[in-house]
């Protein structure tokens, strides 16, 4: 046996919906006494179900098995309208533990059905969530389990057709089926926000990051758990051997022969105690160290139904500690971002002393508002406009800070560094790799401009074109990384990358003191996350996005990161479809506001910077000025406002 390391996925285990469902049963038992009847397994986990059985819960499938006058709980998966009606008719005291994200789908189905819509549901036949959602209607909802099923669907009409999704599916599989639906039914209505829940998305994202780092992935989850099965399948699809276990007793020593790194995660219905038992068993098999990967810290908590809420004092006593994840009261480590940014600054300064400047100290201009064509009254009131000229950074953007920090954070393999990027992250990674004398391979989507590919080649990078979209390039990049062992960098969602971006805030403060406000554009969120982490409420951080790429704006609306369609000027320089998990965690605490700007305003500001100041910048760098020139952001008297001019990777010929 040769196991050296166990890498724990973050996040893993219980989600907010599972926590709520279990708490509902436990509160009902405490308030009404045993037995409490639960329709279907409250969540799909053997340990949880057996634990609640021992406390007095009785799990049933047929309401005829529930004695009159009993207390009944609906499971987290939801139930059909028929089951709800039968429970009312039988006079049960009912508490609904349906996950609020499943309820959201039910509400959407009911609303659109009243408007005359039929539905295509993407999901697994026989799963209780699917039965519950389809059971919201008596007809007009069609189940598809794969792409082949889409061809067989025969709706009564296509003019009003909508698609909904089981919340625990594979994100990639659901996207493939949804694409097939769109191709066959171009007018199909899709949800404003994807139905796959935040917990499913977060756990799958963690497995995507973890799989290239390990030799085998173990998923803790029961066979009936859809989201646990999807985690195992995802790791397998990414080329990593994977097994799912209900408990540590199911681990088989032969799985680990010749394996040195074990990845460990858990489905959203698996308690942390089972993960700890697996760790103990792996240690008995020879594992030496355990470390937790960087990832989003989930803080969402859903309210309990009326009749089961504690009074205020009891609620305070039972609340999980800040940063708790999974089981209530289980402490979860949080990232000390100030310390990470200071470490990043030390690495970058050390590299500068050893090898000469790569990451530069860029100029900070302090100018009167009148320079920008703003009202003279602003200058009279003491308003100052600072321009942080980060477009003069190595590689032409702020990305140099994060990418170089990532490369300096540990030993670089002989195979060098690898990244998927169609823009500035690839350029910055290639430039940093050249400065350190290591190989670099950049995977780009087919839609990336040829000019940027040539720029990458000029920096010495090997450029590989994979698929049409960024997701295709990332998948190919992950596969190559497993073969080569190269260091994987992410465009915006790694601790070293966000911390590197945060050194920009540290530099601003050292050059000019604390600004009152910092206006910054958002793509994937690495820059706004780094700045918000550094200023941490000491300065207001205002996020700016194009209307056609509102990743952060939509996340704030939904209360969690969601995928958005990206178009317009953002398709090239601000092309991320989803805010990064690390930055989302930061901005929930430290962001002042988020504003949207239209393409015309951004183009006008970009042209103004070239025409009046001879600053050739990309559209993303012009958003802060556009916010001032359009009045989207109104300065307060005496305010010191820092505009982040973040990148210069643009062809000056396009500026007029």
What values do phi and psi take at 443, rounded to 5? -95, 125
Q: SS3 of 329, please?
A: coil
* Plot region of 511 (φ>0 → left; ψ -120 to 50 → alpha; else → beta): alpha
Structure tokens at 75: 């499971």
Structure tokens at 369: 């508002």
4 in Cβ contact with 289 (< 8 Å): yes
Based on the residue annotation, tell me whether 361 is a catalytic residue of this protein.
no
297 in Cβ contact with 202 (< 8 Å): no
Whole-number Cα distances in Å, 360 to 106, 310, 386, 409, 615? 53, 55, 18, 18, 18
135 in Cβ contact with 178 (< 8 Å): no
The residues that bridge with 25 in the sheet, in sequence order, are none
| 118-122 and 161-165 beta bridge pairing | parallel
Closest by alpha carbon to 143, among 167, 171, 113, 119? Answer: 119
552, exposed or middle or buried, with CB in 10 Å at 0-12, 13-18, 19+? Answer: buried
b/e code 488-525 from CB counts within 10 Å (16+ = b): bbbbbbbbbbbbbbbbbbbbbbeebeebbbbbbbbbbb
Catalytic, out of 129, 131, 384, 545: 129
| 384-389 and 364-367 beta bridge pairing | antiparallel
Distance, in Å, from the CA atom of 232 to the CA atom of 482, rounded to the nearest integer, reads 17
DSSP codes, 362-412: --EEEE-GGGGT--HHHHHTT-EEEEEEGGGSGGGBTHHHHHHHHHHSSPP
Residues labelled catalytic? 129
């Amino acid at each position: 046996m040769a196991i050296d390391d166990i890498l724990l996925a973050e996040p893993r285990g219980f989600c907010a919906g599972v926590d709520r469902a279990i708490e509902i049963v436990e509160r009902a038992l405490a308030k009404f006494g045993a037995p409490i009847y639960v329709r279907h397994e409250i969540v799909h986990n053997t340990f949880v179900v057996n634990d609640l059985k021992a406390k007095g819960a009785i799990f049933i499938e047929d309401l005829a098995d529930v004695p009159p006058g009993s207390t009944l709980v609906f499971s987290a998966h939801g139930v059909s309208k028929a089951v709800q009606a039968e429970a009312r008719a039988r006079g049960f005291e009912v508490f609904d533990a349906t996950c609020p994200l499943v309820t959201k789908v039910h509400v959407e189905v009911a609303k659109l059905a009243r408007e005359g819509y039929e539905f295509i549901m993407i999901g697994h036949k026989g799963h209780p969530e699917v039965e519950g959602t389809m059971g919201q209607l008596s007809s007009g909802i069609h189940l598809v389990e794969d792409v082949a099923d889409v061809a067989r669907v025969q709706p009564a009409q296509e003019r009003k057709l909508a698609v909904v999704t089981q919340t625990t599916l594979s994100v990639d599989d659901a996207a493939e089926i949804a694409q097939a639906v769109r191709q066959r039914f171009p007018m199909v209505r899709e949800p404003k926000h994807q139905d796959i829940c935040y917990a499913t998305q977060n756990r799958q994202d963690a497995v995507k990051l973890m799989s290239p780092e390990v030799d085998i992935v173990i998923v803790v989850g029961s066979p009936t758990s859809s989201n646990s099965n999807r985690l195992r399948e995802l790791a397998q699809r990414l080329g990593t051997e994977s097994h799912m276990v209900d408990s540590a007793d199911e681990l088989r020593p032969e799985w680990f022969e010749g394996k040195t790194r074990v990845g460990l995660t858990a489905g959203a219905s698996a308690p942390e105690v089972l993960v700890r038992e697996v760790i103990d068993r792996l240690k008995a098999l020879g594992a030496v160290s355990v470390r937790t990967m960087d990832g989003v810290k989930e803080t969402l908590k859903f309210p309990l139904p009326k009749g089961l809420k504690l009074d205020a004092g009891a609620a305070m006593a039972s609340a999980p500690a800040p940063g708790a994840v999974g089981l209530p009261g289980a402490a979860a480590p949080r990232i000390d971002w100030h310390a990470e940014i200071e470490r990043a600054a030390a690495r970058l300064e050390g590299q500068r002393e050893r090898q000469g400047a790569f990451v530069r100290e860029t100029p900070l201009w302090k100018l009167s508002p009148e320079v920008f064509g703003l009202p003279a009254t602003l200058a009279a009131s003491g308003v100052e406009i600072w321009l942080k000229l980060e477009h003069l950074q190595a590689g032409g953007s702020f990305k140099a800070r994060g990418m170089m920090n990532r490369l300096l954070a540990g030993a670089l393999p002989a195979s060098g560094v690898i990244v998927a990027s169609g823009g500035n992250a690839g350029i910055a990674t290639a430039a940093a790799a050249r400065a350190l004398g290591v190989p670099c391979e950049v995977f780009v989507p087919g839609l990336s401009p040829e000019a940027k590919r040539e720029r990458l080649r000029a920096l010495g990078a090997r450029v590989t074109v994979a698929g049409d979209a960024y997701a295709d390039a990332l998948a190919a990049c992950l596969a190559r990384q497993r073969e080569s062992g190269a260091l994987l960098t992410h465009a915006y969602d790694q601790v070293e990358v966000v911390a590197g971006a945060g050194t920009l805030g540290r530099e601003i403060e050292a050059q000019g003191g604390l600004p009152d406000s910092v206006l910054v554009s958002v793509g994937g969120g690495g820059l706004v996350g780094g700045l918000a982490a550094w200023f941490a409420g000491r300065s207001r951080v205002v996020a700016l996005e194009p209307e056609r790429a509102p990743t952060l704006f939509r996340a704030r609306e939904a209360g969690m990161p969601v995928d958005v369609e990206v178009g317009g000027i953002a398709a090239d320089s601000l092309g991320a479809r989803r805010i990064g998990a690390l930055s989302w965690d930061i901005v929930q605490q430290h962001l002042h506001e988020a504003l949207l700007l239209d393409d015309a305003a951004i183009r006008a500001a970009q042209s103004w910077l070239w025409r009046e100041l001879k600053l050739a910048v990309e559209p993303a760098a012009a958003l802060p000025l556009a916010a001032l020139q359009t009045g989207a952001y109104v300065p307060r008297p005496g305010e010191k406002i820092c505009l982040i001019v973040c990148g210069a990777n643009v062809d000056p010929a396009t500026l007029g």
